[in-house]
Amino acid sequence: MEQRIYHGTITPNDIARELVSYFNRGNFRVQQIGSGSQVAVQIATRDHPASGGQTALSVSIQDVSDGIQIQVGNQAWLGVAASLGMTALSALRNPFALIGRLDDLAQDIESLQLTEEIWSVIDGAARAAGAGHELSERLRRMECSYCGTANPVGEPNCIACGAPLGDVQPVTCKYCGFILKNNETACPNCGKLVA
**Residue 158 binds Zn ion, judged by CB under 5 A:** yes
* Segment contacting Zn ion by CB under 5 A, of 43-51, 78-86, 128-136, 163-171: 163-171
List all residues 6 or more positions away from 123 whose beta carbon is below 8 Å from its beta carbon: none
**Residue 38 binds Zn ion, judged by CB under 5 A:** no
**Residue 172 binds Zn ion, judged by CB under 5 A:** no
* Segment contacting Zn ion by CB under 5 A, of 47-55, 75-83, 89-97, 143-151: 143-151
- Binding Zn ion (rule: CB under 5 A), the pick from 128, 150, 160, 186 is 160
- Binding Zn ion (rule: CB under 5 A), the pick from 5, 61, 144, 179 is 144
**Residue 77 binds Zn ion, judged by CB under 5 A:** no
* Segment contacting Zn ion by CB under 5 A, of 8-16, 33-41, 93-101, 144-152: 144-152
CB 177 within 8 A of CB 133: yes
**Residue 69 binds Zn ion, judged by CB under 5 A:** no
List all residues 6 or more positions away from 170 whose beta carbon is below 8 Å from its beta carbon: 135, 139, 140, 142, 153, 179, 180
**35: how many CB neighbours lie within 10 A of its CB?**
11
d(CA 59, CA 180): 24
CB nearer to Zn ion: give 59 or 180. 180
**89: how many CB neighbours lie within 10 A of its CB?**
16
d(CA 133, CA 91): 27
- Binding Zn ion (rule: CB under 5 A), the pick from 146, 156, 166, 182 is 146
Burial class of residue 46 in the structure, from the number of CB atoms within 10 Å of its CB (0-12 exposed, 13-18 middle, 19+ buried): exposed
**Residue 5 binds Zn ion, judged by CB under 5 A:** no
- Binding Zn ion (rule: CB under 5 A), the pick from 84, 147, 168, 186 is 147
d(CA 146, CA 189): 32
- Binding Zn ion (rule: CB under 5 A), the pick from 15, 91, 173, 179 is 173
List contacts with Zn ion (CB under 5 A).
144, 146-147, 149, 158, 160-161, 163, 173, 175-176, 178, 187, 189-190
